Structure 1
Amino acid sequence: MSTTTRAAVVESGGAPFTLSEVVLDRPGPGEALVRMVAAGLCHTDLGVASGGLPFPLPGVLGHEGAGVVEAVGPGVTSVAPGDHVVLSFTSCGACPNCRDGHPAYCATWLPLNLLGGRRADGTSTISRDGEDLGGHFFGQSSFAERALVDERGLVKVDPDVPLDSIAPLGCGVQTGVGAVWNVLEPRAGSTIVVLGAGAVGLSAVMAAALTPATTVIAVDKVAERLELAKELGATHTVNGGEVADLTEAIMEITGGRGADGIVETTGSVFVLRKGVDALAARGTLVIVGAPPFGAEVSLDVNGMLGGKRVVGLTLGDNEIQTAIPVLVQLVKEGKLPLDRLISRYAFEDIGQAVADMSGGKAIKPVLTF
């Protein structure tokens, strides 16, 4: 049977989140009904809410959920009622990239997660007053007291770990960690640079501190963020607003050699270019921050001939059933101190959470239910 619940609905592009009673469809094949305990707020949510992406509105967003399974649909075997779960992205499970362990590059990733607003078969998961709403956001739409979630995006986790401390693992944290662990793969003595000290960037800093890299440089314009980056494992910091040239500042720290790996989280093509120019021979820059659609960057082609690489990344290129339980264990052991990034807000205060995140006051807002 269907479930009535309360959700934060965005009525149109640029409109605020407003609490509204909605109806969830009953769990279908491969789906579970989850009672939300916490949900992280991400810049992707804000981008869609602003109208910057063609997601169908009015709709329900949210893609960093964590909660407790209440019911499962036909064929669901990986979770059962009562299980604690982290909600991440969904995928088809059948295309070559999914079969190869790279579901973030699923052939149908965009319609299943970011743009479609419906199940793969075109049916709606959420309605209000008999009218369909945009839902199925990242296979979850977790800005609601209950969510209908694809089994492919559910990860069973240790019930001893508080769910409000691990909800951000579903997107932002695993993205920053995966950029370092899955793409850069630092060797002993490597130099890693993280451009931008937001939630994704600071997650990359923490990940780099758990590798054999011996130099970890964090770059931002906010002094407090840079101080936090040092506390989380950065060996050096650069205030981008206080240096004449970012590339030269990185070169100075590295003795003129450049960086072995760079994680670009700002979404600025200017910063991206400065990062590429600061790479060492055979160095790799990972693009994580997304600029506006159609944005382009020019590169010094001859400068690339020293074996430099520029790689795009989605969600850390993680296989979530493997990666997220490991991250949960690291949080439990205190080796991945996510609480240093988190500011908690009651679900009813989602508007304040949005304002604090947009204004830079909160690094990673987490809504609690």
Structure 2
Amino acid sequence: MQIKAAIARAKGAELSLETIDIEEPRENEILVKVVATGICHTDIVVRDGMLPTPLPVVLGHEGAGVVEKVGRAVSKVKPGDKVVMTFNSCGRCPSCQDHHLSYCHEFFPRNFFATRTDGTSALSAGGEPIHSNFFGQSSFATHAICHEVNVVKVPETAPLELLGPLACGVQTGAGAVMNALKVSAGKSFAVFGSGSVGLSALMAAKVVGSTIVIAVDRNEERLEMARELGATHTINPAKVDPTAEIIGITGYGLNFALDTTGISSVIRSAVMALAPMGACGILGASAMGSEINLDEVHFMSGGRRLMGIVEGESNPDTFIPMLAELHAQGRFPFDRLVKFYSFDEINRAIADSESGRTIKPIVRMQ
């Protein structure tokens, strides 16, 4: 079958919209007609060659759509089901067996190497192989092939074109708060970086009942959005020392902090703002080999904790429908972050994401 796809053919270049071929799903695969897909910072990082994903490749890993065909070994979904496609995992390693799918021992090859496990691809153009299976989906296309382990069925009444970002960016921020840090009612929380991930974390902190919710960012428009979404305080580190400001607000420091920037100096500020027994999670990825510099006495003597978090430590089969339900109840308004684009506008959507003009772009396929 022929489909339309946006292909990354050269490092840092715009994606090329082309008509290409997609194979029939194998016995353990699922063919999804993509309705819409979110654009995530990870797509941009890979396009720019900062991770070892081979080119040419169809990126995209926040896809939502309708199941069109299933292989004979698939029982989780059937044609006609509405689904969200999330990150891929092996389902067999010790982490997967313990339901920690985001720490799958094969997470990197299954999500970033852009091939099936046997090295093949389902996509081609005029006989030229096009790498696919990025995050188990490659959803920058009108159709995508995914797997039982990374497809999540959502209710028939769900606003499907809106739900793609729940697969990665929104899930990562909200899950960091709810699943990994386990922020609880009455506790203080600050997020460093107020993009789609950070603002999703902020909304999750409000849902669980955090009483002091602080957003830290240099972008005043993002800080205004944070206030509209429930931040009790906002801090611009270009104007004040965020650590000192947080200590002043809380009196003793934070119970929980979350960094979404991956910048070492910002992570240090977040840790320095922790109260004794406070915990800081880090989500933002920086270049391989980057190091974090902490004050050892401050860190150790207060029993403070620093943890890396991947995909919000979520079980997508339960967490994505929960977030969708919270949205339906009006308690998790992540739609406030979204701007829609047509598929033909995908490069403009990416540019708007890079510039900060749009918090969370979603590309509609039709």
TM-score norm. by structure 1 comes to: 0.97
Match of 2:346 in 1: 350
Matched, 1:14 2:9: no
Of 14, 21, 32, the residue aligned with 1:23 is 21
Contact in 2 for aligned 1:56/1:133 (Cα 8 Å): no
Shift of 1:6: 0.6
What is the alpha-carbon distance in structure 1 between the residues aligned to residue 328 and residue 73 of structure 2?
31
Hey, what does 1:39 align to over in structure 2? 37
The residue that corresponds to 1:226 in the other structure is 223
* Alignment deviations for residues 289-318 of structure 1 (CA, whole Å, 9 cap, x no partner): 111111111111111121100000110010
Q: What pairs with 1:326-365 in structure 2 (closer than 5 Å)?
A: 326-365=322-361
Distance between the aligned counterparts of 2:150 and 2:183, measured in 1?
Answer: 28
Specify whether residues 50 and 131 from structure 1 end up closer, same or farther in structure 2 by C-alpha distance, changes over 3 A only.
same
Name 2:271's counterpart in structure 1: 276
How many matched pairs? Answer: 364
1:85-112 alpha-carbon deviations (Å, 9 max, x no partner):
0010111111111011110011111000
Q: Which residue of 1 aligns with 2:199?
A: 202
CA distance in 1 between partners of 2:299 and 2:346 (Å): 45
Q: Supply the AA of the counterpart residue of 1:309.
A: R
- Residue identity matched to 2:257: I
Shift of 1:254: 0.8
Q: Aligned-pair distance for 1:266?
A: 1.2
- Aligned equivalent of 2:315, options 313, 319, 331: 319
Counterparts of 1:82 and 1:60, CA distance in 2:
24
Determine the C-alpha separation between the residues in 2 that align with 1:113 and 1:186.
28
* Superposed CA offset, 1:110-131 (max 9, x none): 00001x1111122212111112
Identity of aligned residues (%): 48
Asked if structure 2 preserves the Cα contact closer than 8 Å seen for 1:346 and 1:368, the reply is: yes
- CA distance in structure 1 between the aligned counterparts of 2:22 and 2:59, rounded to whole angstroms: 14
Aligned counterparts of 1:104 and 1:187: Cα–Cα separation in 2:
22
- What are the within-5 Å matches in structure 2 for residues 245-256 of structure 1? 245-255=241-251
Give 2:129's aligned residue: 132
The gaps in structure 2 that reach 5 residues or longer are: none
Measure the CA separation in 2 of the matches of 1:355 and 1:80. 36
The answer for unaligned runs of 5 or more in structure 1 is none
| 2: CA distance, partners of 1:131 / 1:152 | 28
Question: Take 1:169 and 1:249, find their aligned partners in 2: how far apart are those partners?
Answer: 32
Cα distance in 2 between the residues matched to 1:291 and 1:317: 19
Give the corresponding residue for 2:53.
Answer: 55
Q: CA shift at 1:30, angstroms? A: 2.0
2:119 is paired with a residue of what secondary structure? coil
Matched to 2:233, the amino acid is: H
For 1:362, give the aligned amino acid. Answer: T
What CA distance in whole angstroms lies between the structure 2 residues aligned with 1:248 and 1:278?
Answer: 8
**Which runs of at least 4 in structure 1 moved beyond 6 Å after TM superposition?**
none
Q: Shift of residue 351 of structure 1?
A: 1.0
1:367 aligns with 363
